[in-house]
Amino acid sequence: MSISAQNILDTLTHVRYPGTGKDIVSSGMVGDVSVEGNKVSFSLTFQKANDPFFKSVVKAAEQAIITYLGEDVDVRGHIAVKFKELPQVSKDESLLPGVKNIIAVFSGKGGVGKSTVSVNLSVALASLGYKVGLLDADIHGPSVPKMFAAEHEQVMAEERNGKQLMIPLEKYGVKFLSIGFFVDPKNALVWRGTIAGNALKQLISDAHWGELDYFVIDMPPGTGDIQLTLVQNLSITGAIVVTTPQEVALADARKGVNMFMNEKVGVPVLGLVENMAWFTPAELPDNKYYIFGKGGGERLAQELGIPLLAQIPIVQSICESGDEGRPVFLEEKGIFLSLARNLINKNNEFQQK
Ligand SMILES: Nc1ncnc2c1ncn2[C@@H]1O[C@H](COP(=O)(O)OP(=O)(O)OP(=O)(O)O)[C@@H](O)[C@H]1O
Ligand SMILES: [Mg+2]
């Protein structure tokens, strides 16, 4: 059977928005309907960010299409979720006045590649001509200084407008500071909650970051006090979540996404990055081995209604470059440029709303 846009709309009148009890078509929530062969896509617009019903409405819409139009209709993952307004949360606007976009790079679990993504995304954005700052806020394992081979560099302070301000270091066009310059990693565990939060706040407010297009924050993994302090004190424009495809990592990533999307926090999650998605040995360049499982990132992105911004394979050069203090972006430009472009597009979409 060939499907028309009208078939889709007719079918979707069977789905109700629980908040009003009205069907989603007459509520004006359905748009951008497109049919290409078996592939059906459309958008659903919700009034508020973090609408409590958005996931269940997306699921119900998918189910309705499959029930009424047939099992072989390809609709899962093709429903774009849009929000009309973002919640207004009062934040300290005087922090980072010259910064246009603050992007938090987050992971539920440690060791999944958050710092690798933060560093290489920053260098990719800088290579596209943007002014970029990077803050390594990972109190448990600051690794940006090592990734930039800057562990032994000193941070200077200068007087600006009557205030002593730290001058961020700069590598590959990226200005950066790290909590690692101030804390001996061996003592990191004693830095708890608000103390760590305040130290981080100083790295933000007492540093001369100047005018920046993107300020990337390598967040500590997990959803504790430090993360909340940061998120509540800064006007974060968007978060990206890094995960590996294993179930445990996905479960933790899910928790993290919920923290950002929580009504009180109200930070849009711009998308997911699946790291260590597969491994291709150099001698078998056409083979992909899904060491940590296949398609986990894609499924989680679909479930949460957020885009999959990039899939990064396991590449030996990524591991080596991290250890040697040279961003792997310099060799693997394609992956990180496409991540940077996808992020910019998604972020612009949210800014225009
Ligand atoms: N795609 C990849 N291919 C190969 N090695 C990788 C890849 N991604 C990350 N690594 C390596 O895995 C290790 C962990 O990565 P990274 O430090 O970026 O993770 P993290 O999430 O920031 O960890 P932490 O929680 O400790 O801060 C590093 O040694 C890094 O070089
Ligand atoms: Mg890290």
Q: What amino acid is encoded at 115 in this protein?
A: S
103 and 73, same domain (yes or no): no
> Residue 229: inside a domain, yes or no?
yes
Domain boundary, last residue among 27, 53, 85: 85
Distances (CA, A) of 112 to 3, 18, 106, 123, 308: 42, 37, 10, 19, 16
- Between 226 and 293, the more confident residue is 293
> Residue 291: inside a domain, yes or no?
yes
145 and 228, same domain (yes or no): yes
Cα 296 to ligand 2 centroid, rounded to whole Å: 21
Q: What amino acid is encoded at 171 in this protein?
A: K
Ligand 1 neighbour 135 (Cβ under 6 A): no
- In the numeric block, which tokens belong to residue 99? 């910064």
> Residue 90: inside a domain, yes or no?
no
- Between 212 and 97, the more confident residue is 212
pLDDT at 191 > cutoff 60: no
114 and 166, same domain (yes or no): yes
The predicted pLDDT at position 122 comes to: 98
Q: Domain range holding 33?
A: 5-85
pLDDT at 4 > cutoff 50: yes
49 and 105, same domain (yes or no): no
> What would the pLDDT profile of 65-122 be if each residue is shown by its tens digit?
999 999 999 998 888 888 876 545 455 556 788 999 999 999 998 899 999 999 999 9
178 and 273, same domain (yes or no): yes
Domain boundary, last residue among 34, 51, 85: 85
22 and 125, same domain (yes or no): no
> Residue 31: inside a domain, yes or no?
yes
Angle of CA points 194, 200, 204, to nearest 5°? 135
80 and 210, same domain (yes or no): no
> Residue 92: inside a domain, yes or no?
no
Task: Give, to the nearest 10 degrees, the angle between helix 296-304 and helix 247-261.
Answer: 20
Rg of the Cα trace of the chain? 22
> Residue 91: inside a domain, yes or no?
no
Cα 60 to ligand 1 centroid, rounded to whole Å: 37
> Residue 93: inside a domain, yes or no?
no
Rounded to two decimals, the pTM is: 0.75
> Residue 166: inside a domain, yes or no?
yes
42 and 76, same domain (yes or no): yes
CATH of the domain at 52: 3.30.300.130
Number of domains in the chain: 2
Cα 275 to ligand 1 centroid, rounded to whole Å: 9
310 and 180, same domain (yes or no): yes
Q: What amino acid is encoded at 302 in this protein?
A: Q
Ligand with smallest separation from the Cα of 121 = 1
Q: How far apart are CA 29 and CA 64, in angstroms?
A: 15
CATH of the domain at 216: 3.40.50.300
Q: Whose CA is nearest to atom 29 of ligand 1?
A: 319
198 and 50, same domain (yes or no): no
Domain boundary, last residue among 85, 109, 141: 85
pLDDT at 337 > cutoff 90: yes
Q: How many Cβ atoms are within 10 Å of 67's Cβ, its own excluded?
A: 12
Q: How far apart are CA 205 and CA 142, in angstroms?
A: 19
CA 39 to chain CA mean position, Å: 27
- In the numeric block, which tokens belong to residue 222? 């997990």
143 and 109, same domain (yes or no): yes
Q: How far apart are CA 251 and CA 241, in angstroms?
A: 12
The predicted pLDDT at position 89 comes to: 47
Ligand 1 neighbour 113 (Cβ under 6 A): yes
Q: What amino acid is encoded at 277 in this protein?
A: A
User: What is the helix (H) or strand (E) element at residue 81, kind and residue range?
Assistant: strand 79-85
CA 196 to chain CA mean position, Å: 22
81 and 119, same domain (yes or no): no
The predicted pLDDT at position 297 comes to: 93
